[in-house]
Amino acid sequence: MADEDDGGDPVCWLDRLCPECGAVPTEDEPERCWRCGATERKRDTT
């Protein structure tokens, strides 16, 4: 088992979630929340 590559999602998705409702953004409209319509997103610029 030590030889297997676990891969997968990043450790933390918190910086990508909608600040209003916590939804994960879609690729269709990354600047607007699909659930609540919020438009302000905090993005990591590093």
* Local confidence pLDDT in tens for the 46 residues of the chain: 455 666 776 678 888 889 999 998 888 877 889 999 998 655 544 4
Domain ranges for the chain, please list them.
13-46
pTM of this structure: 0.56
DSSP 17-40: S-TTT-PPPPSSSTTS-TTT----
Look at residues 19, 15, 14 and name the one whose alpha carbon lies nearest to residue 33: 19
| Predicted pLDDT of residue 45 | 47
